[in-house]
Structure 1
């Protein structure tokens, strides 16, 4: 099966062929493509640059009651780099294999989801289905490098506030199941921590005390022991999003093999569940530094704030609408805390409920991997699911 003559598939392929890849992304091709899509839909489009050459594209479908809080369907235009020699097909040609797979960077993360948002609105307009609420379809830059110049600045802008958003959808991950979608209602908090240990320099042939090496050894051991205690929670059935992950990522210091360094430092990537006690974790690290000896300190390279998860207890009617749509479609939703980070955290930080939802079913999870791909049947099914979900949340 192939989709070369299918306009729905061809629109996806056209978007996937645009190499909006890091580093030094050129978003102009994406903007032009999206402007053309808005024109074909007969919908207004706005392009903002809160940072030069970092465009945010907003396509708006006005609802019957535009005074109601609106719905935001968000996706990012950028994709991660590729190792092209390891791909079966060139990653920016969107080749369709004989068995129906579209090979392309962004096929799962997340140009396919952005196109599902557009195709859902296209389908609803074609069928004449009325929507009570206005739907804004946003395409933002730089999510893959933290979203600081993209969704973060957009979410803090007057232009964002003027959209009067009441609920948002963003990305999750594909599912290997034919009838289960993995959704996120929250994300872990990212903290990047650097511990610096200073000590007495000297000759490498001696056994001096109060060395930077002894202190950094103590720090690494404490972080490693804590990491192991969290890892064991996975063995008892906890999900990765519900534990604190700790990984040593950078080691710095030293000037010469036979010289005891005056300073050594180690950096750690920590991802913390939203229900963890952040003050206690900071106190714990401070205690380890004190125990390691004098002149040991730590600093944050990244200290993301706590962000409340979106409630799924029935108090958010948009979530209830998604559940109802899934039930009618005989789709199960498995809702967990995201292990990583998405642009939805910036939306939640504005006090707006958001759910990460990618209805890509029955495919291997290949985000950031070689041979990232989506099957045309899974893509079509995803559009069907997204269309029903958008219809339900826009009519809450």
Structure 2
């Protein structure tokens, strides 16, 4: 397809219009985004609701396509409307211009993560409606805020509402990941997010002395234990090529504070760690190990959790899950190569799974340089359009499961 044809394609026009709305964190103004999505619902002749589960500034837009058997558990096609910050001077195109180059690459924040998925759902539905297709199960296309900052005032609150309960959701489809090969990634689980603060109290005094029971020695002890554990996870990845990053636990020291000057032993140090626990980890035993290391370091070591997500069971990818069977049948018919993995980061699917609803993360993006959260994020127009074709097969299969 030529540049002119890409620019004149109606689905590409819609996608580019969405990309030009700067729903960039922090302090997002979602007003223009909501109006855009309302227009899309109107063009599809589908009802739309805007709900505010947390704050008036945090809208959730939900477009409904009622099924022929609305009493059946519904399908939710979810995406988030916010995007991460940009550094314009690092981009070769304006981050919210949605420029298309001669090769067909569309440049804008959100092309891969994940405005593409939201309008691809709509593009597939537009084509399915035009063909006369009627879903058996009701389909909800949801657009939620604030996923990029944890979703606490978005999906996390939506699933607690009476509105969500009335939706009677039986399955959720959400974002996956960009693939640089011809194999699509599919998320069936997510690692648990744990963040904790360690406070080390100890003897202070002159820097020339070998003082007992210092905060620095205690910090060093626990840090060594966590570093050893981190190394064990690196070894697992190195030894087993079948493992992905989502299959191991990551440990990272992210903040360190304390001390006043070089010749004074301080009475206090504070360290903050980010952990992403593999779904195979016994969380009770792991927390006990952390607390044991703190005790071994000596008196005056305090452990404070900043975030401690509970264990959430992975979505089953077997015959017991009719939605997985339907998804796999669609992907097989299309000849797609799909590789199920544990999401190494975090998406809104975890809130859905916490409600006992199976959820899969899937973005139809392959053979594309990974630029999620990076400069010059882009998506090729042909990859975008092919994604609509993929959803045109997956959505009917899910709705008729």
TM superposition score normalised by structure 2: 0.97
Q: 1:64 maps to which residue?
A: 68
d(CA) in 2 for partners of 1:86, 1:14: 23
Q: Quick one: which of 257, 262, 268 aligns to 1:257? A: 262
Q: 2:227 maps to which residue?
A: 224
Contact 1:192/1:269 (<8 A) preserved? yes
Q: Quick one: which of 238, 243, 249 aligns to 1:244? A: 249
d(CA) in 1 for partners of 2:45, 2:358: 29
Q: 1:157 maps to which residue?
A: 161
* Pairing 1:302–2:315 present: no
SS for the counterpart of 1:148 is coil
Across the two proteins, how many residue pairs are aligned to each other?
Answer: 395
**1:244-323 alignment, distance < 5 Å:** 244-323=249-328
Following superposition, the deviation at residue 266 of structure 1 comes to: 1.0
Which moves more between the two structures, 232-241 or 142-151?
232-241
The gaps in structure 1 that reach 5 residues or longer are none
Deviations 1:255-278 (A, max 9, x none): 333322111111111111122100
* Pairing 1:172–2:163 present: no
Q: Quick one: which of 21, 24, 32 aligns to 1:18? A: 21
d(CA) in 1 for partners of 2:279, 2:122: 31
d(CA) in 2 for partners of 1:12, 1:300: 41
Contact 1:361/1:382 (<8 A) preserved? no
Deviations 1:182-201 (A, max 9, x none): 00000000000111110011
The gaps in structure 2 that reach 5 residues or longer are none
d(CA) in 2 for partners of 1:269, 1:229: 17
**1:174-193 alignment, distance < 5 Å:** 174-178=178-182, 180-193=183-196
Give me the CA root mean square deviation. Answer: 0.9
Following superposition, the deviation at residue 252 of structure 1 comes to: 1.5
**1:1-396 alignment, distance < 5 Å:** 1-2=2-3, 3-50=6-53, 51-178=55-182, 180-237=183-240, 238-396=243-401
Deviations 1:108-143 (A, max 9, x none): 000000111111111110111121011000000000
TM superposition score normalised by structure 1: 0.98
Contact 1:230/1:244 (<8 A) preserved? yes
Following superposition, the deviation at residue 33 of structure 1 comes to: 0.2
Structure 1 outlier segments of 4+, above 6 Å: none
